[in-house]
Chain A
Amino acid sequence: MLPQAINVALGLWLTAAPAVLGFGPPAAHSHHIAGPLAASWACIALWEATRSVRHVNVPLGLWLVAAPGLLDHSLAGAINSVVCGIAIAGCSLLGGTVRQRFGGGWAALWHGNAA
């Protein structure tokens, strides 16, 4: 749960970063799109039954790492994008502890036997 909570915080920070660090488009657009998406996916992944949604944030983190090479970024914007991207992708790979049982989960709907 903690890695997903960190990603919620990072997503919110990305959303605020263009105003705080003072940079405009296109870097700001990249931040303003990736931030709410990362925070939302991580927020859904906070709950154990939907923890697997965390994987969606891996490509999103990789985008943030690549974006300064593809779009015009200020130095601060570029550093922020790469650092947050690495952190988001890394946290997305950590599933954490799942204590509850869900009758085989979502996988039981399309293969195997539901309990």
Chain B
Amino acid sequence: MIDAQAGDATPPGWSYNPSDWSQRLPIIALAALGAAIAGYLSLFQLQWLADVWEPFFGDGSRRILTSWVSQLTHPVPDAALGAFTYLLDAVTGAIGGRRRWKTMPWMVILFGLAVGPLGVVSVVLVILQPVLFDAWCTLCLASGVISVLMIGPAMDEVLAGLQHVRREVRTGRSLWRTFWGLNNDATASD
């Protein structure tokens, strides 16, 4: 993870660059997998698919995916909202170069805001499966695991972005311009 070639791409005081592609690609891959799973589940919720794959828990997936909790976001299936958020994770994870923690802090922070709450909602939904419905849904659990796995590796980049904003503001720069990456010495992208 320590990149001797990183130069000023590595944030000050860091031993690696959290915006490196080696750091971001695994998260983007997880988000794409999550989007595929949630997209499949939303097809069942939209009744475009008559059945849903459930290898372990009998009619568990059907009960969870048609429960009143899953209808709270009616007419949009809750799995479709999940799929959209996973796509947002993938897109905001992919946009920008290896210095994006300082060239576009807003994108890094938006990425963190998409990853964090998705994980929180997923864990709540996992807990509600047995507590409210005494049922388990295999692919919903898989989606929950994926969303939690993304949080840790995503947050280091958010930290680097926030540290950059704070550092610039302390030297008298505009919070607004720093957030959008508009300071002159930070606009070069690679």
Contacts and interface: CB of A to CB of B under 8 A. Distances in A.
Given A32-B130, A33-B131, A114-B166, A49 B148 contact: no
B148 A40 contact: yes
A115 B163 CA distance: 9
Interface of B: 1, 11-16, 18, 119, 123, 126-127, 130-131, 144, 148-149, 151-153, 155-156, 159-160, 162-163, 166-167, 170
B1 A103 contact: no
Give the interface SS of chain B, mostly helix, strand, loop or mixed.
helix
A50 B156 contact: yes
A40 B123 contact: yes
A29 B130 CA distance: 8
A103 B161 CA distance: 11
A101 B14 contact: yes
8 contacts: A33-B127, A45-B152, A100-B15, A101-B13, A102-B13, A105-B159, A114-B166, A114-B167
A50 B153 CA distance: 9
A50 B131 contact: no
